[in-house]
């Protein structure tokens, strides 16, 4: 059940990002998912390093 909920949350975020930008690249989707789920857990410098690697 937990995996299903996680997959659903991921699908909802993906749909939200694509609703705002239908032509978003896969890299843009990965960055948006990271920011929505984990962005608040890192300081600005850490977020920037992670986003650059995605």
Q: What is the pLDDT of residues 5-50, one digit of tens each?
A: 999 999 999 999 999 999 999 999 999 999 999 999 999 999 999 9
pLDDT at 2: 85
Residue written as token pair 């992670």: 50
pLDDT at 19: 97
C-alpha dist (Å) from residue 1 to 7, 9, 10, 13: 10, 12, 14, 19
pLDDT at 42: 96
Considering only CA atoms, which of 38, 18, 19 is closest in space to residue 29? Answer: 18
Overall pTM > 0.85: no
Please state, as a whole number, how many other Cβ atoms lie within 10 Å of the Cβ of residue 23: 6
């Amino acid at each position: 059940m937990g995996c299903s909920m996680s997959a659903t949350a991921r699908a909802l975020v993906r749909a939200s990002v694509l609703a705002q930008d239908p032509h978003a690249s896969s890299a843009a989707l990965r960055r948006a998912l990271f920011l929505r789920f984990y962005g608040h857990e890192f300081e600005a410098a850490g977020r920037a390093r992670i986003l650059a690697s995605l």
